[in-house]
Amino acid sequence: MAVFEKGIRLRHIGHLDIQRAMMRALRRSGLPVAYSNGYNPHILLTFASALSTGAAGKKEILDVTMAREVSPDDFLQQMNRALPPDLQLSFARALDDKHPAMMALVLLVVLIAGGAAAFVVLGKKRDAQPRYNTELDDDDDEEEIGEDNEEE
């Protein structure tokens, strides 16, 4: 899993172009990435969510399947060398293959008219209802993303 920034100068670049740029950077970096099987193998790469064209992003989540173990520091250094300045990784972490997909852990902040904010935590169960938390607390964001929502 890696966290990257799509800078303000790249805000008009679409999701598929960002995806292609990441794939090119992975190939250029020389990292041992895993490829799909089949007639046209491609790098196993997923994004937690697509960022709209015209929007910049500070903490976008990317999941790359590696063919063998790579240290997070080496991954960051090699990827940042291969990426343009406005598309840089800020964090990387190795996850177990059993870890749920990043999209299942996305935390959405929904702004409500009047200045209030609500957190919508999407769980990994298909039949689970989203949880709503109207308290805005910056310290709990990272803990909520990694929590297991089994009580729903």
The residue with tokens 């406005």 is 86
| Stretch (H or E) spanning 21 | helix 15-29
The pLDDT mean for the chain works out to: 75
For the cut 60, the answer to whether the pLDDT of residue 81 exceeds it is: yes
Residues 29-36, mean pLDDT to the nearest whole number: 93
DSSP helix/strand/coil, 131: strand
Q: Are 75 and 81 in contact (CB under 8 A)?
A: no
Model pLDDT, residue 122 = 46
**Residues of the chain with pLDDT > 90: what percent?**
41
Q: What is the DSSP string of 35-102?
A: B--SSS--B-EEESSPPPTT--EEEEEEEE-BSS---HHHHHHHHHHHS-TTEEEEEE----TTSPPG
In whole angstroms, give the CA distance from residue 106 to residue 9. 25
Model's pTM, two decimal places?
A: 0.65
Q: Give the pLDDT mean for 5-18.
A: 92
Going by C-alpha positions, the residue among 99, 64, 69 that lies closest to residue 83 is 64
* Contacts (Cβ under 8 Å, ≥6 apart) of 127: none
pLDDT band at 145 (very low <50, low <70, confident <90, very high): very low
DSSP-assigned letter for residue 148 = -
Question: How confident is the model at residue 123, as a pLDDT?
Answer: 46
Pairing of strands 57-64, 117-121: unpaired
